[in-house]
Structure 1
Amino acid sequence: MNIVFLDLDGTVIGSNGVSERTWSACEALRPTHHLVVCTGRTGSGVALEIAKRLAPNGVHIFENGGFICRATGEVLFESALDPQDIETMISHAEGVDATLEFYTAAGVFSNRQHPDCDEHARVLEIEVLAADLREVARNHRVIRAHWIMRPEGVDAALDFELQNSERGVASSPVLPLNVFASVTAKGVSKGSAAKWVADYLDIPLEKTWAVGDAESDRPVLEVVAHPRVMGDSPASLLRDFERLGMVDDDGLADFLETLMPQ
């Protein structure tokens, strides 16, 4: 068996959702490949439904590596953000009037109601509750923090330092007006999660593949033996990794079909 780690937004999911060719290719690969969702999205809503269809009994990575579970819901790994970094982010969000979300096992919470937050929740098919984030952090383990920004506000929103956390920036073709930043505990990333899953499944890294389209995918791309990036990816990724076709031109399906048993 091999493993294929698949980012969702901009890789599996294009501007028109998931193509039928991609679904068909994944179904054909299932007997010989573990298909593992590897996304910054939470393990619910659309992301979980896609994971269930890709590999109904499989292991999947959510929250940029902060949460690993089976498609059946069995939790295998869950990280937690540092309390000092949590306070830094809450205070900074208050100072720059930015939208900040906390992802926990109990749900997703936002520091404010905002149209961009509402649209993000609608597309992901998740519920996001406006709440006092300090109160949320006192009562729940915060797995991941998530910033929702407009491109012109990215520099101000992310102008803070974290001591014990890692940050990645990404975008989504289904939410073209926004840029997103995901914060996980230090040492927790899509790359660390991919290593964890490979060890859990007892598959050597030499038999691992990954496909992504954003800098937030770089950690997993650098871990696997066979990294690929979508043609829509930023120049930094296209320079460093082998390029596939565009997501809306079925670039992922084209690649997956090359892995099918002959």
Structure 2
Amino acid sequence: MLGLICIDVDGTLVGSGGVIPEVVWRAAEDARERGVHLALCSGRPALAKARAYAQRLDPHGWHVFQNGASIVHVGTGESLSAAFPEDALHRQIQQARATGRLLEVYSDTDMAVEQDVPRARAHADLLGLPFQLRPLDSLPGTVVRTQWVIPIEETDALLAEPHEGLTLHPAGSPVMPDTMFVSVTRAGVDKGSAVRRVAEKLGVAMERVMMVGDGHNDVLAMQVVGHPVAMGNADAEARAAARYTVGHVDDGGLAEAIELAFTL
């Protein structure tokens, strides 16, 4: 049996209706009772809905947020997070203000957005946060990540722009199918590096770790674990990185992945 299961949120834990099937929560509880560690491994921040998901998966464990930029113990609040480069943050804020492109700035526990547009409000609702305007350069604490929230057809143009010293993690959500979330972290910080840190903290060898995901930003984590699993709704890149494929998120495919872990 495996020692750690890492679980993406959008398209893996949460389906197109924003709902998590009860069969998934039952499988997660069964895994905990058998001594398997469960860690959220999401692009979302450690706030609101995502934090609640992590606490329900394992209230006394380490979880990965913000595509690896935030590694947080939800029981103690301890953080292993990586700071975002200050010069890159300044450049991105200037770019957002010059182009009108929607940018969000995050710390471990807070966020800033300064555009009151429908896409920003829809994302706040997806995260489970009240919509609040705040200047991008006024966020207290250590900034760990930025995120472009753009129409999906603008993705290729954004990815083609120079981002020296940074890593980009494009990901979608079935709840906002017309939107691409391009998360930006310090170079070398990603879900893969974060999963390694969590496994090390727990004393679990990477060969005994499973990563379940559905998108591009899950691939680096899938590549470093012993047991990569793609959801039935996964994109081609995630499917290619997987050793196993389970059912669609809306059919409780994650429960199937957790049950698979008991046999490995």
TM-score normalised by L of structure 1: 0.92
- Counterpart residue number, 1:257: 259
Segments of structure 2 that go 5 or more residues without pairing to the other structure are none
Query: Is the contact between residue 166 and residue 183 of structure 1 (CA under 8 Å) also seen in structure 2?
Result: yes
Query: What is the letter of the counterpart of residue 80 of structure 1?
Result: A
Secondary structure of the residue that 1:210 maps to in structure 2?
A: strand
| 1:247 is the counterpart of 2:249 | yes
For residues 127 and 47 of structure 2, the distance between their equivalents in structure 1, rounded to whole angstroms, comes to 8
CA–CA distance in structure 1, aligned partners of residues 120 and 207 of structure 2: 40
Q: Give per-residue Cα distances to partners, 1:37-90, cap 9 Å, x unaligned.
A: 000111111111111111111111111111111222512312111122112212
Kindly report the root-mean-square deviation, in angstroms, between the aligned alpha carbons of the 2 structures. Answer: 1.9
The answer to whether residue 166 in structure 2 is matched with residue 160 in structure 1 is no
- CA offset at residue 118 of structure 1? 0.7
| Of 219-228 and 148-157, the range deviating more from structure 2 | 148-157
Matches of 1:135 and 1:155 in 2, distance apart?
A: 30
Offset at residue 135 of structure 1 (A): 4.0
The structural deviation recorded for 1:152 is 2.1
1:112-153 alpha-carbon deviations (Å, 9 max, x no partner): 1111111111121124532332344xx542111011111122
Identity of aligned residues (%): 32
SS in 2 for 1:166: strand
Instruction: Work out the CA distance in 1 between the residues paired with 2:90 and 2:158.
Output: 15
Q: Which residue of 2 aligns with 1:112?
A: 115
Is residue 28–residue 260 contact of structure 1 (8 Å, CA) maintained in 2? no
1:217 aligns with 218
Which residue of the partner structure matches residue 21 of structure 2? 19
How much has 1:197 moved relative to structure 2?
Answer: 0.6
Say whether residues 1:34 and 2:34 are aligned partners: no
Of the structure 1 ranges 49-58 and 249-258, higher mean CA displacement relative to structure 2 is found in 249-258
Residues 2 and 106 (structure 1), Cα distance of their counterparts in 2 relative to 1, 3 Å cut: closer
Q: Does 1:172 align with 2:185?
A: no
Check 1:97–1:157 CA distance in 2 against 1; reply closer, same or farther (3 A cut).
Answer: farther
Counterpart residue type for residue 23 of structure 2 = R
Give ranges in structure 1 of 5+ residues lacking alignment.
none
Whether 2:192 is the aligned partner of 1:203: answer no
Task: Identify if the C-alpha distance between structure 1 residues 58 and 196 changes in structure 2 by more than 3 Å, giving closer, same or farther.
Answer: same
From 58, 63, 69, the counterpart of 2:66: 63
Is the 8 Å Cα contact of residues 143 and 184 (structure 1) preserved in structure 2? yes
Letter in 2 for 1:243: T
Asked if the contact 1:108/1:127 (under 8 Å) is kept, the reply is no
Query: What's the secondary structure of 1:220's corresponding residue?
Result: helix
94-103 or 214-223, larger mean C-alpha shift: 94-103
